[in-house]
Structures are given as C-alpha cells and as structure tokens.
Structure 1
Amino acid sequence: MKVIPFKIPKPSRELIRYQVDCQPYFYDKLHQHPEVQLSCILEGEGKLIVGDYIGRFGPGDIFLLAQNVPHVFRSDDVYYQPEEGKQSHSIIVFFDLRAFGKEFWASEELQEVKGFFEHLNGCYRVLVEGRNEFIAQVQQLQYKNKLEKVVGSLHLVDVLMHKATLQRLNLADQMQNLSEREGKRMEQVLQFLVAESHRQLSLEEVASVANMSREAFCRFFKDRTRKTLVTFLNELRVSNACQALLHSDQTIASIAFTCGFSNLSHFNRVFIKTIGSTPREFRRQTTINKV
C-alpha cells in the first residue's frame, strides 16, 4: 500500500471537502496530501505524530495542518479491540488551494487569506474561545449547498486568522514533502515503534525494520525528527503512560514497566522532563480538573 502521497477522494475542482470519519479507529498510516486540513475530534483518543511532535488527542481538540505535512492520528490500542465497542469520530475540512486558481488569489480582498495559508508550516493546535460553537459551525457545513459551503469555510478561516490562537506543535520541517520511498520507510518505523514501545528495543532491531545499517538509520531518523531514537521512544512511552494515568487505577510503578521503562526512577526523570510534573502530580491534577 502506498502511504505517501495520500489522495483525498473528491472531484478535482472541488474547493472545499467536508469529511466525516466515524469508525472504531482513525486511519493509522503516516500520510500527507496537498490540501490544508482542519480536524475536529468529537470522539476517540490517541497519539498525534507529526515530525518531532508526539502528543495526545481527544474529544474537543481542533488541529490545523498545512499542505503536504506527513501526519498520523493513531488511536489508542483499546479502539482496535471490537469487544470494547469504542468509537472514533472526527469531522474534517480540506481546503484545496490549487482548485481556487491564480486569478482567485490575485484579488485584493483575498490577500490576507492568501498570506495566512502561505505562512502555515506544520501542525497547529487551534485554541479558540467558544470552542464548541466553532465545532458546531464546522458541522453545519455538511448541510450547506456548494456556495454556502465555500462562504462558511472562509468564515472559519477568518476565525482562525483573527480570533484563534494557533499553537505550533512540530518544530522540525524535515518531515515536509517526504518522497514516497522515505514516507513508506518512516511509516514502517513509526508503526513498529508504536506497536513495540512497551518492551526494550535495540537500535539494531529498529534499523532492521527500515532495512538500514545502524549508522544510516541514526542519520535518517534524526534528520527527519530532530530526535534520537531513545528520545523519541521515551516521549512515545510517556504519552502511553499519560493515557494509563488518566484511565486506569494501576500503580505508577506498574504503568512505568508496562510502558517500557526498565525502572521507576528513570521513568520519573523522563516524565518530569517531558511533561513538567511527576506522574503522581499529573494524575492528581488531572483528576481535580475533571471534578
């Protein structure tokens, strides 16, 4: 299966594509596409991986991705278990800037919008006052006719430009516009790391997944994530630990070992460095915020 590039199923001249993803788990292959993507998560939890960024996503999160940014919304393992009856649900708006045409972007009225799209670089978390209202406006696009859909989408862009805060998530740009071969190799490595991060992994074992030598793999991985394999694995394991701290009553020691850390003290050090608090403080504060 060719992972990169990914083609959005739509007519070639369609300016705006509204899509509903509602299934047990989200599409879990690293992929990129030339359309700008606005995603609203309604149900489901998991990890968002974009370049050097590994973070959690959950209900109510809104993300904006620039053109040709390789990314994957990887649902948590529990969503792959049919007996759990879990559901993942998101709504997505794709903006095809190519379909608008040069004449459209040449108009004086759209220069600010053009500049906004041109300066997008990577993936952003969208922070907006009245988040639920914003998501409701996105949902309403599915009921609009073609012209109303374009006008409504441009209204959302206006909110993004003037009323929202766009929090840049990934810092490295090396993941942008990966070749198909590089993308497929990176996809294989990420899938392997996500599936096997719960156990001890050697550099040789991971390099073999990419069919590369140790030295070549280290350069390949660091060039595209700006992180060593150890750092990336630790952040992946901390992300899994956060999920366990939020949704289970396991002891912190048990979570540390289950997520792939060899000892509790190392887990605590890595967790504090990554999250900024101890696992115990993270669990307690999150519990307080839920009340």
Structure 2
Amino acid sequence: MKKVISFQIPKSNKEFVRFQIDSGKHFYDKLHQHPQWQLTLIVKGKGQLMVGDYLGRFEPGDMFLFSSNIPHVFRSDSEYFDQGSEKESLGHTLFFDFEVFGKSLVEVEEFAGLHQWLSQTKGCYSVIDKAQKKIRKELMVFSKNQGLDKIFTALGILKNLQLANALHLLNHLIPQKDYSETEGKRMGQVMSFILSHSQNSISLTEVSEVAHLSKEAFCRFFKERTGKTFTEFLSQVRIHQACQLLQDTELPISQIAYQCGFQNLSYFNRAFKKIQGESPKDFRGRVDKLGSDIYSN
C-alpha cells in the first residue's frame, strides 16, 4: 500500500481501537494518511483543515471523521507557532483499525450493517447533531475505558456515527487512489509553503519550484489533487484567515485584507463574497450578533 508520508500510529498488531490525546502548542502539521479510520474532537485550538479538495476552519467543539487513507492535515493558525504565545491545542482522537477483524467483518452476520456502512462512507465528514453531543461525552472520558469496556464504548460510538444526519460530507472529490510517497511529500511541502506564506505575494513560479515541477506540470498536479487551481486555493486560504480575524479581532477590514495577502481592497471584497456568499462587513456583523445573542442567553 502506498503512503503519503511516513506516519505510524503506535499500536499492537491486533488493536481494534486506539485513543490518543494530542496536546501541545499546535497540531501535527504535515499532510499524511494512514489505513486506520480517524475520529477527532477539537478541544482547544483553531486553524485550517485540509482533506483532499476540502479546505475549511476548525475550532473547539468541532468533530471530524476521516475514512481510511484520506490525506489530511490540521494546520494550526500562525499564532500557535509563536514561541512567546500561550495558546494551546488539544485534540481527542480515536483510531479504528477494521483490518484486525479480517474476513469476520464480511462473514459474521452481526457485522453486516457495519460493513455496509464502511463501504459507503468515504472521505471527510464533520460529525453533527445529536450524534456529536453523544460522542463528545464519550471521547472526553474515553481514556478510562479498558478491555471490553473499551470495545463496547467504541462500538457504541460507531453506532452513533451511523445515525441519520450524524455526518456531513465535506469533500466534493473523493480520492480514487492513494498518493505515492513522492506525491505525498510533494503535496505536503506545497501545502506547508502556501499556508506559511499566504500573507505574502506568492507566484506560480515560486510554488512550482517548491514542488520541483514545471509550471504546467504543477498546475495539472495541483488541480488533480485538490479540484482547484492554485489561485483559487490560495484565495480560499486567505479568505478563511480573514474570517478568523474578522471574528476574533476589531481590526479594520482594509487592514485585515492587507494582512491576509490582498493588496487591493476591492478585489478582497469580491473574493470574500464569492467564497463566503456575503461581504466582509456583513460577515462581521452576523458573527458579532450571533455572539451577542449567545452571551445574552
């Protein structure tokens, strides 16, 4: 099996479920994939989640499910990498290794529903609605489970994931094949470069050199794996960063535009409305009103 980047989850060869707490200044910031399914609850920290063609924000309370071998990265916001920052990141994750069941997953009658669900559930999902609330309670105390309690709790979580309206698909394009080692490293380097330099002017020539490809080859490579052109992806990264600043600061909109890499305010407004469906001013007003309503209640 091809792998994106060497990333091994410490486990025994016959461990169905493993619970992991990721605690530190920022999350693991390299694009990677693994054969285990992953269920992650964000307890602390904010940033951008990239999974295939999906690019979006994550923040405390969010929960995500990745099926097997889906390249992904939780990229914490830049302030989480500052040495002097007191910001922290915390995530609770379950890794499910369905391969330990071998043929039993297909042959055992009681597993028929689970096997069908696994076959139909591909890509990246946000976990929402009642299922998210139920699973969140279990993940916050999952480390207390041992032996059969660990297995029963994990199966209960899988049952909740199969509830109606539990999952919202985030991908438009589902990867049809694994990345090779070379492709994975190349894509990881490109993503890291874009996220680290998005506030600056980035030319197609620069990012092509990072990928060690010609401009034409890079454009094909990038579009095949993200479903977007480099320019479209870069704009989306910048707009998501602008959303964070509009929500978390009182900086003027013109300063936010410049800080996120837009040299022209008019272009920033047009790009923002195209991606978010509303103007930066309307976005900030709506978010502020939502926060005031929550606080007043």
Scaled by the length of structure 2, the TM-score of the pair is: 0.94
Aligned runs of 1:34-53 on 2, under 5 Å?
A: 34-53=35-54
Query: 1:255 aligns to what?
Result: 256
Q: Deviations over 1:13-46 (max 9, x none)?
A: 1000000011110000000000000000111000
Q: Deviations over 1:146-204 (max 9, x none)?
A: 21111111111111102543111121234851111000000000000001111111111
After TM superposition, what 4+ stretches of structure 1 lie above 3 angstroms from structure 2?
Answer: 130-133
3-state SS of 2:167 partner? strand
Identity over the aligned pairs, expressed in percent? 42
Residue 83 of structure 1: how far off its partner (Å): 1.9
More divergent stretch after superposition (134-143 vs 118-127): 134-143
- Residue 270, structure 1, aligned to residue 263, structure 2: no
Query: 1:206 aligns to what?
Result: 207
Counterpart CA distance in 1 for 2:176 and 2:89 is: 26
**Contact 2:131/2:166, CA 8 A, preserved across alignment:** no
Query: 1:82 aligns to what?
Result: 83
Residue 257 of structure 1 aligns with an amino acid whose one-letter code is Y
Query: 1:162 aligns to what?
Result: 163
**Contact 1:246/1:283, CA 8 A, preserved across alignment:** yes
CA RMSD in angstroms, aligned pairs only: 1.5
3-state SS of 2:162 partner? helix
Q: Number of aligned residue pairs: give it.
A: 290
Aligned runs of 1:78-117 on 2, under 5 Å?
A: 78-117=79-118
Q: CA 1:72/1:95 → structure 2, altered by over 3 Å: closer, same or farther? A: same
Residue 197 of structure 2 aligns with an amino acid whose one-letter code is E
**Contact 2:130/2:166, CA 8 A, preserved across alignment:** no
Counterpart CA distance in 1 for 2:180 and 2:9 is: 18
Counterpart CA distance in 2 for 1:84 and 1:136 is: 29
Residue 132 of structure 1: how far off its partner (Å): 4.0
Scaled by the length of structure 1, the TM-score of the pair is: 0.96
Query: 2:295 aligns to what?
Result: none
Query: 1:124 aligns to what?
Result: 125
Q: Deviations over 1:233-269 (max 9, x none)?
A: 0000001101111111111111111101121111111
More divergent stretch after superposition (277-286 vs 228-237): 277-286
More divergent stretch after superposition (155-164 vs 37-46): 155-164
Structure 2 unaligned residues grouped into runs of 5+: 293-297
**Contact 1:69/1:176, CA 8 A, preserved across alignment:** no
Counterpart CA distance in 2 for 1:177 and 1:51 is: 11
Counterpart CA distance in 1 for 2:277 and 2:96 is: 36
Structure 1 unaligned residues grouped into runs of 5+: none
Counterpart CA distance in 2 for 1:74 and 1:175 is: 24
3-state SS of 1:162 partner? coil
Residue 290 of structure 2 aligns with an amino acid whose one-letter code is N
